[in-house]
């Protein structure tokens, strides 16, 4: 579990953000969150905030997209890819029951680890056009950026399809929550490898800059997909990142691929503010 998480909850003893009493405004914000494993950090943070008290939160409901009865999340209905009927029904039910005013999603977000958490036996690296100064791994084969991008995007096909289908499934505004950045420390990953232990022992953790490039590339692909589909893109909170753009050490989860509840809390604060008055940055500059 997380290291002294309750002691590091920065909102304890502080004045909670004024979200307005539920029902006090003509349309009180009510958040529906759908997602895969990254949603756990948000749920955990919400529970801790609720249990700690003193924090006014808008109503929130969560739909875990990994649940067996709605997974896989999409299918071909003979005309187009759509949410599976069970998920479509669940979505409509949640919206109606909780009078949801907006939808957030944490769909997938770990595909970049396929290519870059562990060193590939045929070591490779690439130049990221949006950050050409990021270093190249010494001795690595330089694979064309376009080819890496196409390979990564192919790995994301399912997630991008779910994202597009979600947009088609509701008229409510939809925000996609950017997945957490990678952990900067290879030692931290090696110390808490979870299921990656054998692979890390065999090949080693990939260089941090390489992992950061892949995450940024993944985010660029998702950002483009969101723009094309009419989905807002909610960036990682600045406070949740270190100066180089890796996930902040306080967000480490002893799991190379997920962030903790502290991180989730920062994201929730963004979501609350956004649901309240839309004054957070939601698009890439």
Partner 1 sequence: MSAHPYRGLPDQAFWRRSVAEPSRGEVDPVVSAPFVLTPDMRIATAGSCFAQHIARHLRASGFNFLVTETAHPIAGAELAEAYGYGLYTARYGNLYTSRQLVQLFDRAYGHFVPETEYWHDKDGQVIDPFRPQIQPGGFQTIEELRADRRHHFACVREAFETLDVFVFTLGLTECWTARGDGAAYPLCPGVAGGTFDPAQHVFVNLRAGDVAADLEAFAQRLRGVNPKARILVTVSPVPLIATVTGQHVLVATTYSKSVLRVAAAEAEAAVPEITYFPSYEIITGNFNRGAYFAEDCRSVTEEGVSHVMRVFMRHFTTGGAGDVAPPRAEPVVDAHTASIKKIVAVVCDEEALDRGA
**Binding stretches for partner 1 (CB under 8 A):** 36-37, 40, 43-44, 64, 66, 110-111, 113-115, 117-118, 120-122, 124, 126-127, 129, 132, 136, 141-148, 150-151, 154-155, 194-196, 199, 203, 255-258
CB of 142 to partner 1, least distance (A): 4
105, 97 contact by CB (below 8 A)? no
CB of 262 to partner 1, least distance (A): 16
The nearer residue to partner 1, 78 or 132, going by C-beta atoms, is 132
The nearer residue to partner 1, 160 or 274, going by C-beta atoms, is 160
The nearer residue to partner 1, 92 or 198, going by C-beta atoms, is 198
Q: What is the DSSP string of 112-163?
A: HHHHHTB--SS-EE---TTSTTSPPPTT-EE--HHHHHHHHHHHTHHHHHHH
CB of 14 to partner 1, least distance (A): 26
The nearer residue to partner 1, 112 or 272, going by C-beta atoms, is 112
The nearer residue to partner 1, 118 or 221, going by C-beta atoms, is 118
Q: Which two tokens stand for residue 271?
A: 């979501």
CB of 203 to partner 1, least distance (A): 8
CB of 258 to partner 1, least distance (A): 5
Give 282: exposed, middle or buried? Use CB within 10 Å, 0-12, 13-18, 19+: middle
Q: DSSP E strands: which ranges in the chain? A: 31-35, 60-64, 74-76, 81-83, 102-106, 124-125, 141-142, 174-177, 232-234
CB of 78 to partner 1, least distance (A): 26
d(CA 114, CA 257): 11
The nearer residue to partner 1, 84 or 273, going by C-beta atoms, is 84
């Amino acid at each position: 579990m997380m290291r002294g998480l309750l002691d590091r909850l920065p909102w304890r003893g502080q004045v909670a953000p004024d979200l307005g009493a539920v029902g006090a405004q003509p349309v009180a914000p009510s958040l529906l969150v759908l997602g895969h494993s990254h949603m756990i950090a948000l749920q955990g943070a919400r529970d801790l905030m609720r249990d700690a008290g003193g924090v006014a939160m808008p109503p929130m409901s969560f739909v875990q997209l990994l649940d067996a009865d709605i997974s896989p999340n999409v299918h071909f209905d003979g005309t187009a890819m759509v949410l599976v009927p069970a998920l479509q029904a669940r979505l409509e039910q949640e919206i109606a029951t909780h009078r949801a005013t907006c939808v957030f999603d944490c769909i997938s977000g770990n595909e970049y680890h396929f290519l870059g958490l562990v060193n590939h036996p045929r070591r490779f690296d690439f130049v990221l056009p949006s950050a050409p100064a990021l270093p190249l791994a010494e001795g690595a084969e330089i694979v064309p950026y376009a080819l890496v991008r196409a390979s990564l995007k192919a790995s994301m096909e399912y997630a991008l399809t779910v994202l597009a289908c979600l947009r088609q499934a509701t008229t409510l505004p939809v925000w996609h929550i950017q997945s957490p950045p990678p952990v900067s420390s290879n030692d931290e990953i090696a110390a808490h490898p979870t299921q990656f232990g054998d692979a890390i022992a065999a090949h080693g953790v990939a260089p941090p800059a390489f992992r950061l490039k892949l995450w940024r590339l993944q985010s660029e692909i998702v950002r483009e997909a969101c723009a094309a589909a009419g989905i807002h893109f909610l960036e990682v909170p600045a406070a949740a990142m270190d100066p180089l753009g890796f996930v902040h050490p306080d967000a480490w989860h002893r799991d190379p691929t997920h962030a903790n509840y502290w991180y989730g809390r920062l994201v929730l604060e963004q979501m609350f503010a956004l649901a309240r008055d839309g004054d957070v940055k939601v698009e890439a500059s």
